């Protein structure tokens, strides 16, 4: 899942069948847990009871172990644009083809970035080494390079900061760099233009690096702009190192006589990746689309984020292959989600309006087995969180209700999570496709109330290994994984079997 997960507020929900019945025409009844019976590979799982007997955590874990082995063989990562991702896509395709599907690979170019190492230190007037992730953060798509004891030159900075950050135009115009000494480090302040514009202007003026510090306001639409600035340049192109810092460090660096040493070693270039797609043909032209992103971040194997969602969707696809349902089911594994939801966006933008209109629902599964989990359902009825215009509709509300009904039937508690476009449903919701899905939490911290409700540890992240090397095969909870693969199977089959 992309960085910056939605904030959550707990909400205990009661079952409300009306919305899902209007959408799907059926309601699940409680199903006892049991091992998959013999013959699952050969029978037609065209009812909820049959399907849920044939999908379980053991089957999903088989896929997760394969993804872990792929990461282990490819530098510990399955990031788009790396051999680890290509091997992951090959694995999904091979499993689908063995089950009888015809598979499509939709290739596309995307901006690839991988930071290998960085360092940053003040050398004058008082030498001290700075800490990555605390004092500074290398910007995505930074250039590489090493700077040794270079002078820092402030460029049109405003100190103390104005109340309105829109009043800061530091580095936004080439004229800001008039007289800038080549070979110096440009110090620019967050303001009205993009970081990419500031860095490009600094580079053109002969700067050997650019340092962008936060603008200094404590409350800009609820945002603290004094904290560490973690930014992106949006795409490859910069040839000089670019880092973001806190406002306090920016103030310190603006003092006359300041010198720094800075080094960034990174890959920033355009690469190719792909989406993997397979269809279960239905009796009508209407489509239920089910998706999960297949890529990890470069820092780790991504077994929870998002091997868990990818493997659960693959488990359901294999179990449904012989079913003939009213609606076509289109299974999707997205590339380059971690680079900005690029695969799903590319896919939706490649569709005609008529093709988009045939998609009656999109179900998204991004991190469904977090080790310190909660059971989150995207807030498709807008009852707890604000959502972008057009996201919340009667049909998105019905999808939410469908998942609520399933959890209720199993005696499981759950709560809303923000439906704000921070995963692959964004492009679908933005195109008017009713969407929904499940999530078990990322870097946000579990509250004592949530620990009482779900178990686990209050005061720790839902996924303590989020976007780290430790997001490996040991970073999943098999109990919630088993519950969620059933929920995924139930929602998919219910929506696809609906004749209305």
Residue 10 has pLDDT above 90, yes or no: no
Q: Say if residue 186 is exposed, middle or buried (CB neighbours under 10 Å; 0-12, 13-18, 19+).
A: buried
pLDDT value of position 41:
78
pTM: 0.87
Distance from C-alpha of 44 to C-alpha of 325, rounded to nearest angstrom: 11
Q: Are 215 and 192 in contact (CB under 8 A)?
A: no
User: pLDDT tens digits, residue range 19-61?
Assistant: 333 343 333 343 434 455 667 878 999 999 999 999 999 999 9
SS3 call for 188: strand
Radius of gyration of the chain (CA): 24
- Arithmetic mean of pLDDT over the chain: 92
SS3 call for 349: helix
pLDDT value of position 27:
37
Q: Are 318 and 490 in contact (CB under 8 A)?
A: no
Distance from C-alpha of 169 to C-alpha of 55, rounded to nearest angstrom: 56
User: pLDDT tens digits, residue range 294-327?
Assistant: 999 999 999 999 999 999 999 999 999 999 999 9
Q: What is the DSSP string of 236-290?
A: S---S-EEEE-HHHHHHHTSTT-EEEEEEEEEEEEEEEEEEEEEE-BSSS-EEEE
Q: Which residues are catalytic?
A: 337
User: pLDDT tens digits, residue range 250-284?
Assistant: 999 999 999 999 999 999 999 999 999 999 999 99
For residue 49, the tally of other CB atoms under 10 A from its CB is: 10
Residue 18 has pLDDT above 60, yes or no: no
The encoded tokens of residue 431 equal 């195109």
pLDDT value of position 33:
40
User: pLDDT tens digits, residue range 87-123?
Assistant: 999 999 999 999 999 999 999 999 999 999 999 999 9
**Distance between the two ends of the chain, CA-based, in angstroms?**
32
Residue 194 has pLDDT above 80, yes or no: yes
User: pLDDT tens digits, residue range 373-408?
Assistant: 999 999 999 999 999 999 999 999 999 999 999 999
Distance from C-alpha of 398 to C-alpha of 155, rounded to nearest angstrom: 53
């Amino acid at each position: 899942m992309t960085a910056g997960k939605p904030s959550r507020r707990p909400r205990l929900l009661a079952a409300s069948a009306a919305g899902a019945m209007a959408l799907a025409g059926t309601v699940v009844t409680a199903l006892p847990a049991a091992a998959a019976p013999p013959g699952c590979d050969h029978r037609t799982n065209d009812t909820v009871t049959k399907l849920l007997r044939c999908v379980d955590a053991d089957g999903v874990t088989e896929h997760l172990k394969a993804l872990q082995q792929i990461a282990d063989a490819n530098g510990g990562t399955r990031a788009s644009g790396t051999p680890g991702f290509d091997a992951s896509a090959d694995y999904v395709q091979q499993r689908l083809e063995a089950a009888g599907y015809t598979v499509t690979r939709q290739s596309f170019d995307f901006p690839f970035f991988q930071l290998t190492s960085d360092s940053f230190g003040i050398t004058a007037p008082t030498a001290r080494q700075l800490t990555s992730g605390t004092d500074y953060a290398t910007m995505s798509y930074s250039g590489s390079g090493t700077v040794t004891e270079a002078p820092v030159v402030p460029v049109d900075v405003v100190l103390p900061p104005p109340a309105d950050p829109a009043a800061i135009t530091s580095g936004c115009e080439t004229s800001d760099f008039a007289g800038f000494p080549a070979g110096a480090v440009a110090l620019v302040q967050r303001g009205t233009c993009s970081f990419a514009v500031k860095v490009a202007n600094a580079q053109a003026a002969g700067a050997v690096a650019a340092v962008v510090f936060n603008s200094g306001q404590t409350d800009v639409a609820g945002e603290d702009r004094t904290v560490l600035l973690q930014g992106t340049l949006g795409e490859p192109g910069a040839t000089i190192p670019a880092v973001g810092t806190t406002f306090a460090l920016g103030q310190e660096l603006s003092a006359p006589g300041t010198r720094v040493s800075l080094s960034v070693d990174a890959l920033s270039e355009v690469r190719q990746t792909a989406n993997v797609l397979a269809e279960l043909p239905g009796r009508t032209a209407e489509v239920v689309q089910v998706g999960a992103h297949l890529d990890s971040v470069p820092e780790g194997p991504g077994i929870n984020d998002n091997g868990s969602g990818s493997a659960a969707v693959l488990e359901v696809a294999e179990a449904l292959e012989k079913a003939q349902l009213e609606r076509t089911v289109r299974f999707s594994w997205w590339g380059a989600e971690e680079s900005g939801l690029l695969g799903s966006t590319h896919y939706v933008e490649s569709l005609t309006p008529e093709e988009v209109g045939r998609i009656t629902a999109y179900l998204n599964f991004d991190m469904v087995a977090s080790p310190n989990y909660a059971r989150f359902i995207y807030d498709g009825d807008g009852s707890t969180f604000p959502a972008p215009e057009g996201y919340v509709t009667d049909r998105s509300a019905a999808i939410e209700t469908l998942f609520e009904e399933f959890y209720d039937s199993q005696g499981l508690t759950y709560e809303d999570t923000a439906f704000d476009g921070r995963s692959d449903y964004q492009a679908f919701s933005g195109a008017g496709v009713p969407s929904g899905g499940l999530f078990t939490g990322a870097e946000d911290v579990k509250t004592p109330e949530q620990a009482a409700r779900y178990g686990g540890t209050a005061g720790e992240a839902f996924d303590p290994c989020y976007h780290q090397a430790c997001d490996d095969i040991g970073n999943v909870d098999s109990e919630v994984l088993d519950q969620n693969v059933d929920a995924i199977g139930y929602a998919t089959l219910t929506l696809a079997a609906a004749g209305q």
